[in-house]
Amino acid sequence: MKTVYDFTVKDRKGNDVSLSEYAGKVLLIVNTATGCGFTPHYDPLEAMYKELKDKGFEILDFPCNQFANQAPGSEEEIHSFCTLKFGTDFPQFKKIDVNGETADPLFVFLATEKPFVGFGKGIKNAMLEKFANMNNKQFGDRAYIKWNFTKFLIDREGKVIARFEPTVDMADVKKAVEAIL
């Protein structure tokens, strides 16, 4: 059975990183953007990372510019923004595509293991769904990820346990992480 440990990604400098280097850790894999309304998620992500990293927890950050061009900068510009504005210390990787023909295989795998089931209830979520559908129409059946700050929880064996859309409360994400630590 395939796990996230079967994938190799690029660090922000373009070097190969086998995700098997994270074997035995609980992972939260996130596609991010610096100009998104959900960018403030970096604060609770960093707080969770600081609190839980010594218990075997890692956050893997993958910037993506496929959602309304909300991550237009270079890897270094994005990294500087995140470290200066939010103090992020967790690993940040090369900017990738998460949808379409050029989607990174890791994100195709993640989204196939835990497909999109909706943003939740409420007017705000309905509006995001409408906007996401318009944006993702260009990707057709390869619109694997619906918006920035989609999070995937991976257990210590490399299996995808849960998917959290950006509309999920970060306190609930943290509870799920703590439950499998």
Q: Assess whether 36 carries a catalytic annotation.
A: yes
Closest by CA to 75, choosing from 12, 158, 146, 138, is 12
Catalytic residue chosen out of the listed positions 28, 29, 36, 71: 36
Tokens, residue 114: 């835990």
Helices within the chain (DSSP H only): 42-52, 75-86, 105-113, 123-136, 170-180
Sheet holding 57-63, edge to edge: 57-63, 26-32, 151-154, 160-164
Those residues whose C-beta lies under 8 Å from the C-beta of residue 106, and which sit 6 or more positions away, are 4, 7, 9, 19, 29, 62
User: Annotated active-site positions, please?
Assistant: 36
